[in-house]
């Protein structure tokens, strides 16, 4: 599918393990070249989400912390007791942020675990609820109820673990989940209901307190997906932005996921999953004590894990502290407000719901993908959405740099004119999560599968020199 293999013609294409190694200097120079070119795309501040921190100095610091422990395995605590310190303190600091002290009594305080990312935390949560229910003889045909807007990681986890997923509609104006629908669709086999704080599509927080009441009435769990917002919303709340409570202060919240590798500004590869009830977390531990290779145990689905990631995550939290996170949140929230104001200046454009640091907009008059097409020519990279067609911008630190809001304002004005001039034509961009453009046709699944195959196999199509 791909016509040009990345860096083909500039660097060697490795098809087999080279007989003789290449020098470190040469390889590091090659890596530095690729990284510098690729970083240039987001350093402009025109890329939605993804580069939450965007501060090379912070990255260098994290990389140094990572480097000290990159080679150590978190499974082998006798060799790396430091992992117990990093992991335990990352969990403790996260529990503190989400008011773990407000839940449980002294003998059963909320607990947590560190996973590989948002999908990892969500998958572990679904698995833990399933195993806990099964151990209690509760459910053999379990289900989970999520807002349609909640992340596909829930669909993936349900798919993997044989859990039925019930997708609740959202209110068309507020884009918050329809709580009555959730209440009507919870039953004796429900493991948990889900609320987002905030969701990926619109930056909107679901009515967590109301969902908590539904969960309490039905005797089921409530998982709050704060993967995206977890390390920024609490600081937005402290700063006086309208952030409703969504953590353990809310009765009925039984678990919460928050990604350190997003607004926690840590390296890619970590997230924290918290449980109100220790027994639920512990239900998904895996042990095999009669294996010929020895007694095996892992606290989650992963086997070996690098202690480096735990060290870097710990270092990010301790280095920035509440003051650092609050300072970055202030810059991001205020930038988001200014960017939203730019959108609202155009009567043809409509901001969806009441967003936070991430906003989405559509148009009832123009094709929003024409707007996107034009913005791309000016270097902007938004995420495309559907039902309705819309584009979103997750505001991160790179957008807080001087001049970015002004550039957005000017480019958006030109984009609106472009969209008006091209009405009736087919836009080039579409709605595929992760920023890969494609059409929104019945063949979308097939197209996406081809893109994934291409990412894995493109190398095979490169002709031998």
Binding site for ligand PLP (CB under 6 A): 117-119, 151, 153, 196, 199-200, 225, 227-228, 259
In angstroms, what is the minimal distance from the CB of 246 to ligand PLP?
Answer: 12
- Minimum CB distance to ligand PLP smaller for 196 or for 316: 196
In angstroms, what is the minimal distance from the CB of 108 to ligand PLP?
Answer: 27
- Minimum CB distance to ligand PLP smaller for 74 or for 232: 232
Residues 240, 241, 244: CA angle, nearest 5 degrees: 100
User: DSSP H helical segments within 259-306, as ranges?
Assistant: 278-282
In angstroms, what is the minimal distance from the CB of 361 to ligand PLP?
Answer: 18
Using DSSP's 3-state secondary structure scheme, residue 147 falls into strand
Nearest to 317 by CA among 25, 53, 12, 3: 53
- Minimum CB distance to ligand PLP smaller for 200 or for 246: 200
Specify the pairing of strand 221-226 against strand 255-258.
parallel
- What CA–CA distance (Å, rounded) separates 421 from 366? 10
DSSP string, 371-433: HHHHHHHTT-B-EEETTTTEEEEE--GGGGSTTHHHHHHHHHHHHHHHHHHTTTSPPS----T
- Minimum CB distance to ligand PLP smaller for 42 or for 374: 42
In angstroms, what is the minimal distance from the CB of 128 to ligand PLP?
Answer: 16
- Minimum CB distance to ligand PLP smaller for 264 or for 427: 264
Q: CB count, 10 Å around CB of 319?
A: 13
In angstroms, what is the minimal distance from the CB of 416 to ligand PLP?
Answer: 28
- What CA–CA distance (Å, rounded) separates 411 from 340? 14
Q: Which residue is nearest to ligand PLP (CB)?
A: 118
In angstroms, what is the minimal distance from the CB of 191 to ligand PLP?
Answer: 18
Q: Are 409 and 399 a contacting pair, CB within 8 Å?
A: no
- Minimum CB distance to ligand PLP smaller for 167 or for 346: 167
- Minimum CB distance to ligand PLP smaller for 268 or for 422: 268
Nearest to 458 by CA among 13, 33, 10, 35: 13
Nearest to 238 by CA among 318, 324, 336: 324
- Minimum CB distance to ligand PLP smaller for 258 or for 351: 258
Beginning with the edge strand found earlier in the chain, give each strand of the sheet holding 358-363 in spatial order. Answer: 349-351, 358-363, 390-394, 383-385
In angstroms, what is the minimal distance from the CB of 184 to ligand PLP?
Answer: 25
Q: CB count, 10 Å around CB of 16?
A: 5
In angstroms, what is the minimal distance from the CB of 49 to ligand PLP?
Answer: 7
């Amino acid at each position: 599918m791909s016509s040009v293999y990345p860096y083909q013609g500039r660097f060697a294409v490795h098809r087999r393990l080279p007989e003789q190694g290449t020098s470190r200097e040469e390889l590091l120079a090659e890596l530095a070249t690729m990284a510098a070119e690729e970083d240039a795309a987001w350093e402009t501040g025109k890329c939605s989400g993804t580069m939450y921190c965007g501060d090379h100095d912070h990255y260098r610091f994290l990389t140094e912390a990572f480097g000290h422990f990159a080679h150590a395995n978190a499974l082998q605590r006798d060799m790396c007791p430091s992992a117990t310190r990093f992991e335990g303190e990352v969990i403790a600091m996260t529990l503190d942020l989400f008011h773990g002290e407000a839940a449980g009594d002294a003998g059963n305080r909320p607990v947590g675990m560190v996973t590989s990312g948002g999908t990892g935390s969500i998958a572990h949560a679904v698995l833990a609820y399933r195993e806990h229910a099964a151990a209690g003889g509760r459910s053999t045909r379990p289900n989970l109820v999520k807002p349609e807007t909640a992340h596909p990681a829930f669909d993936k986890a349900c798919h993997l673990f044989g859990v039925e997923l019930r997708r609740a509609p959202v209110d068309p104006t507020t884009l918050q989940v329809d709580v009555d629908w959730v209440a009507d669709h919870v039953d004796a086999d429900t493991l948990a209901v889900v609320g987002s704080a905030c969701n990926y599509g619109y930056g909107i927080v679901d009515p967590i307190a109301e969902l908590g009441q539904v969960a309490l009435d039905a005797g089921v769990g409530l998982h709050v997906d704060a993967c995206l917002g977890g390390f920024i919303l609490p600081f937005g709340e402290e700063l006086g932005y309208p952030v409703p409570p969504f953590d353990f202060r809310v009765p009925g919240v039984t678990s919460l996921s928050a990604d350190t590798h997003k607004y926690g500004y840590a390296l890619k590869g970590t997230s924290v999953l918290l449980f109100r009830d220790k027994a639920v977390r512990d239900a998904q531990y895996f042990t095999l004590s009669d294996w010929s290779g020895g007694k095996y145990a892992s606290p989650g689905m992963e086997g070996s894990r690098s202690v480096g990631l735990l060290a870097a995550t710990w270092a990010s939290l301790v280095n920035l502290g509440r003051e650092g996170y609050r300072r970055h949140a202030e810059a991001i929230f205020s930038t988001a407000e200014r960017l939203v104001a730019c959108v609202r200046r155009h009567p043809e454009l409509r901001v969806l719901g009441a967003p936070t640091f991430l906003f989405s907009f559509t148009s009832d008059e123009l094709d929003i993908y024409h707007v996107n097409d034009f913005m791309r020519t000016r270097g902007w990279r938004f995420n495309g959405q559907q039902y309705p067609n819309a584009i979103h911008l997750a505001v991160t630190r790179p957008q807080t740099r001087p001049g970015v809001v002004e550039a957005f304002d000017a480019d958006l004005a030109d984009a609106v004119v472009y969209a008006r001039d091209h009405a009736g034509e087919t836009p080039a961009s579409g709605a595929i999560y992760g920023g890969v453009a494609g059409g929104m046709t019945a063949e979308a699944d097939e197209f996406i599968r081809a893109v994934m195959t291409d990412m894995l196999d493109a190398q095979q199509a490169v002709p031998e020199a």
